[in-house]
Structure 1
Amino acid sequence: PIILSGWCRTVKDDVKKARQIGLKHINISISTSGQMVKGKFEGRVVRDPKENPSKPSIIGMMIEALEEAKKGGMTVGVNAEDSSRTDDEFLIKFAQTAKEHGADRIRYCDTLGYDDPFTIYQRVKNLAKEVQIPIELHCHNDIGLGVACSIAGAKGAIEAGVDAYINTTINGIGERTGNADLVSVILALRKSSGLKDLNLLDERVNLSKAWRIAKYASYAFGVPIPINQVGVGGNAFAHESGIHADGALKDRRNYELYDFEDLGRGEPEIVETGRKITTGEYGGIKGFRDVYEKLEIEFKDEKETYTVLELARYANVHTQKPLTNDELLFIARYPEQAKKILTVAPAI
C-alpha cells in the first residue's frame, strides 16, 4: 500500500509539527559518520554520550526525537545519514539503540554514493543480522552505482532475515547525480538473472504507467529524460546496428530483455501543430469548455463547471506550467482531492 511519509530532523519540534498535520509515518534523520559529525556540528555535538556527557550526542538526540514520535503513535524509520562512511561498531550501536526505543526500521544511507555493491551487501547483511530490524536502503548515484548498491544492500538484509525497502525516485532525479531510479530498480528485481525467480517484489507493482509517469515528472521538474534512460529513454528500444536490427526483427528477445508494452509504451502520440486552446490562470469559460469537450468530459451543471474552472485556474498558478491532459482530467473527476492537493498551507 502507498503510505504518505514525512522526513524530519531529529528535533522534537519537527516531530510535533509532523504529527499536527496528520502524518502517521515519519523518518527522523541525523548524521552518524565521524566526518559529518565533525564537519557539520564542528565540535558542538559528540556521537556517543560517553564521549562527553556535557554535550549533546547523536544517540541522545535520536532517542529524544524517536520517543516523541512513538508517544504520538507514529511508525518511525530512523535514518543514519552517511551510513556508508560510518564505522560498523557505531552504526550497529546506533541501530540497536533505535530499535530498543521503538524504531520500526533503520535507513542505511549511502549519502555520497561511496559504497559499491560488494561492500554494501556485506555491511547491510551484518547490520541486519546483528540488530534484526527492517532495513531501508537510500543510495545516491555519485559513481553510477545507485541502483546496483540498492539491490545489493536489500539482498543482504533479506538474507539476514529482515525485510528490505528501497528508496527510489522517478527518473533517478535527486541531489547531485541523483538517487536510485524507480523503473530501473523494479526491472532489476523482475528481470535480472539472479533475482527474477526470487519474488522479492510485491506482485501488485504495475509498470504499465511507467512511461507516462516518467514523462510527467520530466515535464513537471523541467528535467529532460536522458536518451539512454532505462526503460523510458528515447533509445531504450532503439536498434541501429545491422546485426541488432536483424535479430530484433526476427525475435524481440534476441535484443530486448523486456517488452516496451509492459512499460506503457508503443501507443502513437498526437501532437497538435495548429490552433491550440488552453485553459489556466487567465482562461475563460468558452476556452475551458472547448478543452474539456476534447477530453470528452461533461459537467452536470453550471456550478460544477465553474468549480472545476476555478480549480484549473488555481492549478495553473500553482504549477506555473500549462496543465497536462492528465491534470485536467484529475481535476474534473476528483475536484475535492484536487482542492486538497492545491492547498498551500495544511490545516492544523
Structure 2
Amino acid sequence: MVLFGDVRFFDTTLRDGEQTPGVSLEPEEKVWIAKNLDSLGVDVIEAGSAITSEGERKGIKAVVKEGLKAEICSFARCLKTDVDYALECEVDSVHLVVSVSDLHINEKLKKDRETVKQMAVDMVEYAKRHGLIVELSGEDASRADLDYLASLYKAGVDAGADRLCFCDTVGVLRPEMTYDIFSKLSSGLKAPISIHCHDDLGLATANTVAALRGGAAQAHVTINGIGERAGNTALEEVVMVLKSLYGVNTKIVTENLYPTSKLVSRLMGIPLAPNKSLVGDNAFMHESGIHTHGLMANTMTYEPITPEIIGRKRQIVLGKHAGRTSVAMALREIGLVATDKQLDEITRQIKDLGDKGKKVTDADLMSIADSVLGIKTEARIKLIDCTVLSGNRATPTASVKVMIDDEEIVESGVGLGPVDAALNALRKSVMGVADLKLDEYRVEAITGGTDAIVEVWVKMSRDTQVISARGAGPDIIMASVQAFVEGMNRLIQEKNGISKAR
C-alpha cells in the first residue's frame, strides 16, 4: 500500500510560470492570481524573482502587502545581491537555487564542486541571519552526482536550511528512478525535501507523484502546468491524481481549480489546448453517441471524476458522432420532445452538418427541430437600429431601436466597452417584461486577417431557462448584438409571450 505524508504545495505560477516566453504580469495581476492561489490553499507562493527588475519587486511587494495565509517567497541565486533584493521585498522566504550538476558547475558557473558548495552554505547562513525561511534548491539535480548532491544538502541543513528541493531542470527523470532517489534522500536528510519538475518529455506529473510516494514532502507546481519551454508540473493534475487514484486528500480546495485555471490563462494570455487534462475545453465534453448513452446510465462509464469536483460542468455536443441519445438529451434541454421517427430525422440532419465540418450549435438544433417538428416561430423582437459611440476619453454609449411585436422601443445604455454598452441597451429594451441575464460571452475568429469574420457565442438565462445563441460577421459589436437578440427571442418565446404593456 502506498503511503503519503501531508503533501504541501509550493506554487511557482508567478515565477517559473511567468518565465513563459511572452508573459509579463502587472503588479495588480500578480496580486489577483496570488489571492486565488491563496484561496486554493497552496502553502507557498513564489511571487517572483526580486533581482529581476524594479517592476518585479513592485509586484512582489504588492503580493506581500495582501497579508495572505500562504508563505510568500522570492527566487534567489546564491548571491548576496539576490538575497538583499528579496529582503527589500519583505518576503517570508527565499527559494535559494544553486547549480549541482557537473555540466552546470563547469560550463555555466566555471567553478568547482567545493566552491559551489561553500557558496550555498554562505548564502543559507546569510539569509537565515536576516530572518528568512530558506529552501535550498539543487538546480539540474537529476543530472548530478547523487553523493555530491547529498553532501551539499547536508551542508545546507547544517547551515540552517529549513527545506531542500530537487530540481529536474530539463525533465529527464523517470518515475521509477524518481521513486528510488527520493526514498534514499528523504530517509537520509534532516530536512523535508521538495520535488520540482519540468515537462520536457511529458513526465512532470508522473515524476512528481513518484517523488511524493518516495517521501518528498512538497511539490513545486504551476497552474495549467505553465512554465519555461514545455512547462512545469500542473497543480491540478497532481491534486486530482492524488485524490482520485491514491485516495489522498490535500488542503487544496478542488472546486476552485477550474476558475483559477481560467483566470491564469486569461491574464497570462496563454490559451489552453482543448485536450489539456482536467481544465481543457474538451476534458468533460462528449459527442460520441456510445459515450453519451453510457453517461446516461452512469457518468463513471466515460469520466474518471465528476466535473463538479474541480468547478466544471459536463457538456454534450452535437456533430457527426452524435447518436439518438445525445440528440434526445439536447432536445429535452430546450424543452422539446420528438417521436422516434422525428428523432431519427433530426439526428440524420445533425450528422449531415457534422460531415460537412460544421459545428452544430444550439441555434442549428433549434432550426432543424423546428423544421422536423413543424414548429413555426417568428421573431418577436426585431432589431431596427443600433448606434455605438466610443473613444479614448468618452464613456462607451449605445442606443438601440427594436420592435417588440408591433411596438417600437428606443433605449440607450453605457458600459465598460462598446459591446457591453450595446448589450446593456438591449437588456433595458425588454427589462419591463423580461428579466434576462447574460451568463457567458465568448468570441472566436473564424477567419484570419484584419477583416476576420468573428463568431460570438452567448449563454443567457431567464428564471431557470438557459439557452445558447450565436452571431457572426466582420463587426464584433453587431455580431454580439445579433447573438443577444437571437437569445432574447428564444427565451421570450419559450416563456410564451412578451406583453405589449410597458
TM-score computed with the length of structure 2 as normaliser: 0.50
CA gap of 1:290–1:40, structure 2 versus 1, over 3 A, is same
Q: Does 1:59 align with 2:113?
A: no
Which residue of 24, 31, 36 corresponds with 2:99? 31
C-alpha spacing 1:212/1:284, structure 2 compared with 1 (3 Å) = farther
SS at match of 2:164: strand
1:243: how far off?
2.9
Q: Please tell me whether residue 46 in structure 1 is matched to residue 93 in structure 2.
A: no
Select the residue among 9, 22, 33 that pairs with 2:90.
Answer: 22
* Pairing 1:8–2:76 present: yes
Deviation at 1:63, TM superposition (A): 1.0
- Is 1:172 aligned to 2:225, yes or no? yes
- Aligned partner letter, 1:5: C
What do the CA deviations read for 1:69-116 (whole angstroms, capped 9, x no partner)? 000111000010011111110111011111101001111000010101
| Alignment match, 2:236 | 183
1:252 corresponds in structure 2 to 299
Aligned pairs, how many? 268
CA distance in 2, matches of 1:40, 1:282: 49
Q: Does 1:87 align with 2:155?
A: no
Residue 138 of structure 1 deviates from its aligned partner by: 0.4
Take 1:150 and 1:74, find their aligned partners in 2: how far apart are those partners? 26
- After superposition, the CA RMSD in angstroms is 2.8
Tell me: CA distance 1:88–1:278, structure 2 relative to 1, closer, same or farther (3 Å). Answer: farther
- Pair member with larger Rg: 2
Q: Secondary structure at the match of 1:167?
A: strand
Indicate how the Cα distance of structure 1 residues 283 and 134 shifts in structure 2: closer, same or farther if over 3 A, else same.
farther
The answer as to whether partners of 1:12 and 1:64 remain within 8 angstroms in 2 is no
> What does residue range 198-347 of structure 1 map to in structure 2 within 5 Å?
198-199=248-249, 201-202=250-251, 205-266=252-313, 282=392, 284=394, 290-291=415-416
8 Å Cα contact 2:154/2:189 also seen in 1: yes
| 8 Å CA contact retained: 1:278, 1:291 | no
Contact 1:277 1:291 in 2 (8 A): no
Aligned partners of 1:221, 1:189: CA distance in 2, in Å? 27
Is contact 2:175-2:210 (8 Å) kept? yes
Cα distance in structure 2, aligned partners of 1:186 and 1:278: 48
2:186 to 112, 117, 128: 128
User: In structure 2, what is the Cα distance between the partners aligned to 1:277 and 1:71?
Assistant: 62
Task: Please say which of residues 281-290 and 3-12 is displaced more in the overlay.
Answer: 281-290
Deviation digits for residues 172-202 of structure 1 (CA, Å, limit 9, x no counterpart): 111111110111111011111xx21x44x22
Aligned-pair CA distance for 1:7: 0.3
Give the CA deviation at 1:133: 1.4
CA distance in 2, matches of 1:276, 1:82: 60
Provide the secondary structure at the position in 1 that maps to 2:194: strand
Distance (whole Å) between structure 1 residues aligned to residue 201 and residue 224 of structure 2: 17
Residue 254 of structure 1: how far off its partner (Å):
1.4
**Contact conserved, 1:135 with 1:154, CA < 8 A, in 2?**
no
Residue in 1 that maps onto 2:334: none
Which residue type is aligned with residue 27 of structure 1? Answer: H
Amino acid at match of 2:232: N
Which structure's residues are more often strand, by fraction?
2
TM-score (norm 1): 0.71
8 Å CA contact 1:80, 1:107 repeated in 2: yes
Query: How high is the sequence identity, in percent, across the aligned residues?
Result: 30
Q: Distance in 2 between matches of 1:230 and 1:65?
A: 40
**Taking structure 1 as reference, are residues 277 and 244 closer, same or farther at Cα in structure 2, changes over 3 Å only?**
same
Report the equivalent of 1:312: none
1:4 alignment partner, SS class: strand
The answer to whether the 8 Å contact 2:198/2:230 transfers is yes
* SS state at 2:180 partner: helix
Aligned match of 1:151: 209
Instruction: Name stretches of at least 5 consecutive residues in structure 2 with no aligned partner.
Output: 1-68, 316-384, 398-412, 422-502
**Residues in 2 aligned to 1:141 and 1:250: alpha-carbon distance in whole angstroms:** 37
CA deviation digits over 1:121-144, x for unaligned, max 9?
A: 110121111113111110000110
Say whether the 8 Å CA contact 1:138–1:167 is kept in structure 2: yes
Q: Which ranges of structure 1 fall in alignment gaps of 5 or more residues? A: 49-56, 159-163, 269-273, 295-348
The structure carrying a bigger helix percent of its residues is 1
C-alpha distance in 1 between matches for 2:387 and 2:232: 37
Letter in 1 for 2:223: I
8 Å Cα contact 2:395/2:416 also seen in 1: no
2:493 paired residue number: none
Match for 2:131: what amino acid?
A: G
Alignment-mate amino acid for residue 247 of structure 1: G
Superposed displacement of residue 278, structure 1: 12
Alpha carbons 2:307, 2:314 under 8 Å: kept: no
CA separation of 1:234 and 1:18: change in aligned 2, threshold 3 A: same
> By how many angstroms is 1:276 displaced?
11
Q: Distance in 2 between matches of 1:66 and 1:284?
A: 55
- Contact between 1:139 and 1:167, CA under 8 Å: does it hold in 2? yes
Q: What code does the residue aligned with 1:62 have? A: A
- Contact residue 8 and residue 26 of structure 1 kept, 8 A: yes
Amino acid at match of 2:206: A
The answer (yes or no) to whether the contact 1:83–1:109 under 8 Å persists in 2 is yes
Q: Of 54, 68, 88, which residue of structure 1 is paired with 2:126?
A: 68
* Aligned residues of 2:388 and 2:396 also touching (Cα < 8 A): no
Residue 228 of structure 1: SS of its match in structure 2? coil
Does the residue aligned with 2:221 lie in a helix, a strand or coil? coil
Residues 139-183 of structure 1 show CA distances to partners (whole Å, capped at 9, x for unaligned) of 00011000010111112115xxxxx11111111111111110111
Aligned partners of 1:218, 1:227: CA distance in 2, in Å?
Answer: 13
